[in-house]
Structure 1
Amino acid sequence: MAKLTAWLVTLIGVLYTLPLLGVDIGAQITTWLIALSFLVIGIAKLMRNYQARPARKR
């Protein structure tokens, strides 16, 4: 999951940087891609945190 998070954060950074470089792919597309990236990151983190774990030994 860490690789997925790293790729999505990189994508978000690129999407925020493109307008500064003069590249316009459309505000609507950029907004949706950023929102979906955050959603996937959140779901991935929740899935990792709520996976069944073996019982601890006492």
Structure 2
Amino acid sequence: MKAYLMSLAVGVAVGLLYNVLQVKSPAPPTVALVGLLGMLGGEHVIPWIRTWLAPGLH
């Protein structure tokens, strides 16, 4: 979790720096990032459901 928070903090700092310097971010559009978030979420749904249902299967 620490690595995720550090990554988020560095990303926010770089975003602020880009804004101050008025540089356009090379990041993909927001729509693409939302799609990636959906893919990551979908990737974790089935394992989460399996662990949620596992106590009832035994």
Q: Normalized against structure 2, the TM-score is what? A: 0.41
Higher relative contact order (CA 8 A, sep 6+): 1
Which is higher, the Rg of structure 1 or of structure 2? 2
